Copies of this chain bind each other. A is one copy, B any other.
């Protein structure tokens, strides 16, 4: 149950590889593989190739494949959260911040990244039913995002850009469905017109 070491170079140690080596970089590469192939279809061999680490090195850094996945999941979630927050930050009021969040989701659901897929959605679909640990992580992520969106709605109501009668919690939950659905539809390569789609979605704030 050792916590997965984020700092890779040991503090006391004097060892092996001087090359600036960052576990986060390796994890980013693991994220890509897990995103496009999912958990079960990704072999240790796939991981070592992607992460550019030898088998032994992977098992020295992580207890097993599952631990690699959890670390990759948390890294992915942190990255996406940061992207979403900074997209929101561009907006002048609650309504615009929310629009920016939705637009950001549409963009991330398209093209290369859209085809690669979202690790949260992938984990929910592939593992939630059989892996309680992953299920808890996924639920926590969705609830955080939902809370963030509900917060933006309330901000908008406070600054006057969103009507008071909008039900913040229900609307936020529906918007979570939209964002997760976007990632599913994006995987199916259906084209997504951000401007038009978001324009329709903003009617939920009327």
Contact = CB atoms under 8 A, between A and B. Distances in A.
A198 B181 CA distance: 16
Main secondary structure of the interface of A (DSSP, over half): helix
Contacts of A129: 36-37, 115-117, 187
A201 interface: yes
Contacts of A122: 125-126
Give the contact-size bracket for chain A. Answer: 35 or more
Contact of A124 (B40, B174, B187): B187
A176 interface: yes
A168 to B, nearest CB: 11
Contacts of A182: 177, 181
B139 A189 contact: yes
B130 A190 contact: no
Interface of A: 36-38, 40-41, 115-117, 121-122, 124-126, 128-130, 135, 138-139, 142-143, 167, 170-171, 173-174, 176-185, 187-190, 192-193, 196-197, 199-201, 203-204, 206
Given A122-B126, A174-B178, 14 more contacts: A38-B126, A41-B126, A124-B184, A125-B125, A125-B126, A135-B189, A142-B185, A143-B190, A170-B200, A173-B197, A174-B201, A176-B181, A203-B203, A203-B206
